[in-house]
Structure 1
Amino acid sequence: MYHEWAPDPAIAGRVACVWTNVAVSTSTQLVVPDGCVDLVWGPDGPQVAGPDTGPMPVRMNRGDRYTGIRFRPGAVGEVFGVPVEALRDARVPLSELGVLPDLTPGTMQEALAVRLREVPGPDPVASAIAGALGTGMSVGQVAWELGFGERQLRRRALRAFGYGPKTLQRVVRFQRALRLARRGTALAEVALASGYADQSHLANEVRRLAGVPLGGLLRA
Structure 2
Amino acid sequence: MYRERPSRLDGAVLWTWTGERLGGVGVLPDGCMDLMWSEGRLLVAGPDTRTHVPGNPAAGHVGLRFAPGDAPGVLGVPAHELRDQRVELAALWPAARVRRLTERLSEAPDQAAALEELAVRAAADTPGPDPLLRAVVQALNAGRTVAAAADAAGLGVRRLHRRSLDAFGYGPKTLARILRLRRALALVRAGLPYAEAAVAAGCADQAHLAREMRALAGTTLSAYTASAKSWTALPSGSSTTA
TM-score, normalised by the number of residues in structure 2: 0.81
Residue 171 of structure 1 corresponds to: 178
Distance 1:28 1:49, change over 3 A: farther
Q: 1:88 aligns with which of 72, 83, 104?
A: 83
The answer on 1:97 being equivalent to 2:104 is: no
Q: How has the CA–CA distance of structure 1 residues 81 and 208 changed in structure 2, closer, same or farther, with 3 Å as cutoff?
A: same
Q: Which residue of 2 aligns with 1:190?
A: 197
- How many Å apart are 1:159 and its aligned residue? 2.5
* Residue ranges of structure 2 left out of the alignment (5+ in a row): 106-110, 228-242
Ranges in structure 1 where 5+ consecutive residues have no aligned partner? none
Distance 1:58 1:110 in 2: 25
Q: How far apart are 1:43 and its partner, in Å?
A: 2.9
Residue 154 of structure 2 corresponds to residue 147 of structure 1:
yes
Cα distance, 1:40–1:139 mapped onto 2, change above 3 Å: same
Contact 1:135 1:195 in 2 (8 A): no
CA distance in 2, matches of 1:147, 1:23: 47
Task: Answer 1 or 2: which has greater helix percent.
Answer: 2
* Map of 1:158 onto structure 2: 165
The CA deviation string for residues 71-108 of structure 1, in whole angstroms up to 9 with x for no partner, is 11122232112112211111011121115511423522
Q: CA deviation at 1:66?
A: 0.9
Aligned to 2:7: 7
For residues 92 and 166 of structure 1, what CA distance do their matches in structure 2 show? Answer: 26
Offset from partner CA, 1:193-214 (integer Å, 9 cap, x none):
1111110010010111111112
Letter in 2 for 1:160: A
Give identity over the alignment, percent. Answer: 41
Give the AA of the match of 2:79. V
Structure with the larger strand share: 1
Quote the Cα distance in structure 2 between the aligned partners of 1:28 and 1:66.
Answer: 19
Instruction: Determine which of 53, 59, 62 is the counterpart of 1:57.
Output: 53
Indicate the residue corresponding to 2:69 in structure 1: 74
Shift of 1:44: 6.5
Give the direction of change, closer, same or farther, for the CA distance of 1:66–1:140 in structure 2 (3 Å limit): same
Kindly tell me the number of residue pairs found equivalent between the two proteins: 215
Mapped to 1, the partners of 2:86 and 2:53 lie a distance apart of 12
The structural deviation recorded for 1:151 is 0.9
SS in 2 for 1:4: strand
- Return the letter of the residue paired with 1:52: D
Structure of greater relative contact order (alpha carbons < 8 Å, 6+ residues apart)? 2
Q: SS at 1:39's partner residue?
A: strand
Q: How much is the aligned-residue C-alpha RMSD, in angstroms?
A: 2.1
Rounded to whole Å, the distance in 1 between the matches of 2:143 and 2:204 is 11
- The answer to whether the Cα contact below 8 Å between 1:77 and 1:120 also exists between their aligned partners in 2 is no
Task: Give me the TM-score of the superposition, normalised by structure 1.
Answer: 0.88
Matched with 2:129 is 122
**Corresponding residue for residue 24 of structure 1:** 20
Q: Counterparts of 1:200-211 in structure 2 under 5 Å?
A: 200-211=207-218
Q: Give the letter for the 1:163 counterpart.
A: Y
Stretch moving more, 158-167 or 142-151: 142-151
Report the Cα offset of residue 133 of structure 1: 2.0
